[in-house]
Amino acid sequence: MWNHSGSQNGPFNMYSYYIGYNPPTSVNPYPKFPRIHNSAFLSPFTYIVGDVIIQSNTYIGPFVSIRADEGTPFYIGSNSNLQDGVILHGLKNRYIEKDNNKYSIYIGNKVSCTHGSLIHGPCRVDDDVFIGFKAIVYNALIGEGSFISSGAVVTNGVVLEPNRFVPPGAHIDTQEKADRLSPVPQTEEEFAKEVQRVNQEFPAAYSLFFGKNKCSCGLAC
């Protein structure tokens, strides 16, 4: 807010988010608390529940919802970013595997999930993947270095080989379509790397505003 002299009185935002146990249900009867590395950053108005692991220097933007209350567990690697409005949720008893472990959602290192994208389990997103604005990934395995453009949908159990390019608005819902995808163009690869570079600076930079010392639940102290 501003006073009559034009100077700013602050802070004018509450640093508020919800991090907690999943509610016990017949589908998921065992409450578990998220485990969040103390160098990750959670923006205000983030919602995280259940068996969720978030690794180092990962940026979670405003209004991100990470709900491991049905499908579980979720894993999010280091140096990744989930930008404003990203949603993570999973179906009960549906899993993918990574390194002999079962996950509802697995997101690797240096993955960009950009504004408004939906990542729904069961799915696996390997390292260095870019998921564009309002794209949907559901019941799919996305190979390392792939680029999913804005508004695209990847689903129906398909497997994308590494470094595949999904064009804007495309629906990749058969393995035949997935196998026809071309490599990521150099321009898009460079764009994805620049998005990564910028977002890897955000956890430390934003922590100057909100406090860099956090417990494993993500709360600043």
Q: Which DSSP category does 184 fall into?
A: P
In angstroms, what CA-CA distances link 175 with 27, 157, 158, 162, 180? 31, 8, 5, 14, 9
Of 146, 101, 155, the C-alpha closest to 123 is 155
Residue whose entry in the numeric block shows the structure tokens 């997101």: 107
Q: Which 3 state secondary structure label does DSSP give 195?
A: helix
CB–CB of 136/151 below 8 Å? no
Residue whose entry in the numeric block shows the structure tokens 């100077």: 7
Q: Which residues of 80-107 are buried (b: 16+ CB within 10 A; e: fewer)?
A: bbbbebbbbbbeeeebbeeeeeebbbbb
For the beta carbon of residue 216, count every other beta carbon within 10 angstroms: 12
70 is an active site residue: yes
Q: Spot the catalytic one: 70, 97, 161, 188.
A: 70
Burial of 213 from C-beta contacts in 10 A (0-12 / 13-18 / 19+): exposed
Which residues participate in catalysis according to the annotation?
70
